[in-house]
Amino acid sequence: MDSVAVWFLLSIAILSAAWFFVKPHRSKISLVLVVVASAYVFSGLYSIISEKGKLGKSSSVIDADRAELLLKFGSAISSADKVLGKQTPADEKQLHKFLDEADKALDKICQNNPNNAGALARQVILKHQMKEPITQPLEQLQHADPVDGPALAKDLSLAYCGHVSAADANAIENDLTRRLPAGWYRNHALGALYRSAAEAGKLKALQDSETEHNVRMLFKMALLVSVVGVSGLVGVIVILVQLIFLGRKVTPEEEENLVRAPAAYGFKAVYGVFVAWLATELTVTFLAQNLLHGVKLMQLSVILAALTTTALYLFTNGPGLLYAYFFALKPHGIKFLEGLKFRTHVGKLGPRRMVLIGLLTWMAALPLVVVAYLIAMKYFGSEGSSNPIIALVMETARSANLAATLIFYFTIGVLAPICEESLFRGFLYSALRRRLSVLPSMLISALVFAGAHLDAGGFLPLFVLGVVFAFVFEKTKSTLPSMVAHGLWNSGTFTLVLLLFGN
């Protein structure tokens, strides 16, 4: 992809310069520029989809997090049973089931990534917890990633297989803390180390801390289930009310101009906006990968990783709005906010009502997306979202860094909804509605919205969200409610991660 990308970028740069300086032939140059940019985009998308290494890497991170979540559930249930003094054989069986599921997930990761020192170290820790032999995974860890593999293999060998002096225990403790992320695996490795070093005080403090953490997690889960359950119930009621009172036409004829684009941009302009946006996104991603090659942001600073994510999001998605303005809105003399349908007042709807509608839309989306996830898993073999940003979100949750957490909330809860709702609903959907009826416009815009995320595991849920956001835009004639709903969805997902993985 590197050499191909460079040639495409040079061609696009030359054509862009020609467009500015050779005014008599601008229409012909524009056509060639669109064709070349389209070829660049399709080539890049094909490369991303077929590049199994990158997809496998992000999937491995997510699989590892799922495995840890199972272990945390098992530990939380076990801790609660001990506190209550009601541990039963059924509870023990459930705990072993969690361990087995996590072990299967780690086996899959290690098979696909035999040099992944982090995954191999986790496997050693889990195997020991399951009272299974650890000689083979320790040997694999020894020959894994030379930066962390041998060091982790040595640390875990001493923790599990030898008697450790107090001086050595401190050095190993510091090394494990540095190389293993906070959570279940690190705690169990440190527990084994304290036993080998006869550090009874540290062991008891660790166990007490873990028990307290597990009990807190159960309370958080109970709170989470209650909030999601009540919100989902309200969402079902909202859906039923909409179905019962939905008229033959969602929007009366006299109000359709509020939903439709102010002018007929034409297919070339709309297509050009999205091709230019995707070409820019691919270019920024390509440059970022080369500039940050070999750099592990999370190991440097979780705040730096959060800021980098925000900057990348602005540089990859912000230009889409600029292209919409310069290619479609400005040539027709349309103001930016009006062209993207951002309105704070529509008829009797003011800002407060629009925010309330956004909240109810988020609640209505909950049961619909849950059903979409279940269908995707049962009939399409989906294992959930494979978006690489999830790995950064997980690490932010583990770090418990307030500044990084706030930055991520701003990025995914404010920037993302503003950019995506303006582009997909305010611009694309309104352009489609100028020529099509409600249903085809909703389906096409939702398909583009889901496909643009390049997340095969999350395609169906994203498509459902796209339909829901398009419907609320059609009903309110403003992107503000869909922005609120979108922001609540993203922020709610991040909050869920903080509750489950936060330390």
pLDDT in tens, 431-486: 999 999 999 999 999 999 999 887 777 899 999 999 999 999 999 999 999 999 99
Residue 6 lies in a domain: yes
- Rounded Cα gap, residues 49 and 44, in angstroms: 9
Are residues 322 and 457 located together in one domain of the fold?
yes
Q: Is residue 220 part of a domain?
A: no
- Judge whether 246 lies within some domain: no
Claim to verify: residue 283 and residue 211 sit in the same structural domain: no
For the chain, what is the mean pLDDT? 85
Q: Which residues of the chain have pLDDT under 70?
A: 1-2, 48-66, 77-92, 94, 292-300, 383-392, 394-395, 397-400, 502-503
- 64 and 203 fall within a common domain: yes
Instruction: Among 200, 215, 230, give the residue marking a domain's end.
Output: 215
Segments forming the whole domain that contains residue 73: 53-215
Q: How far apart are CA 301 and CA 250, in angstroms?
A: 49
Same domain, residue pair 16 and 152: no
> Which distant-in-sequence residues (6+ apart) come within 8 Å of 83 by Cβ?
211, 215
> What's the confidence (pLDDT) of residue 75?
74
The predicted structure's pLDDT at residue 498: 82
Same domain? For 444 and 477 the reply is yes
Q: Is residue 459 part of a domain?
A: yes
Signed CA dihedral, 188, 82, 63, 140: sign only = positive
Residue 293 shares a structural domain with residue 439: yes
- Note whether 333 and 435 are same-domain residues: yes
* Domain shared by 43 and 70, yes or no: no
Q: State residue 56's pLDDT score.
A: 37
pLDDT at 57: 42
Domain match, 327 and 405 both: yes
What is the DSSP secondary structure assignment for residue 458, as one 8-state letter?
Answer: G
Asked if residue 92 and residue 41 are part of one domain, the reply reads no
Please check whether residue 225 lies inside any domain of the structure: no
Question: Would you mind telling me the total number of residues written for the chain in this entry?
Answer: 503
| In a domain? residue 124 | yes
Is position 186 within any domain? yes
* CB half-sphere exposure, 461, CA atoms < 13 A: 22
Q: Are 341 and 478 in contact (CB under 8 A)?
A: yes
pLDDT at 492: 92
HEC profile of 149-192: HHHHHHHHHHHHHCCCCHHHHHHHHHHHHHHCCCCHHHHHHHHH
Identify the pLDDT of residue 384.
66
Helix, strand or coil, per DSSP, at residue 239: helix
Do 446 and 351 lie in one domain? The reply is yes
Q: Total domain count for the chain? A: 3
Residue 54 has what pLDDT?
41
Is there a single domain that holds both residue 44 and residue 57? Answer: no
pLDDT at site 440: 96
**Is 249 a domain residue?**
no
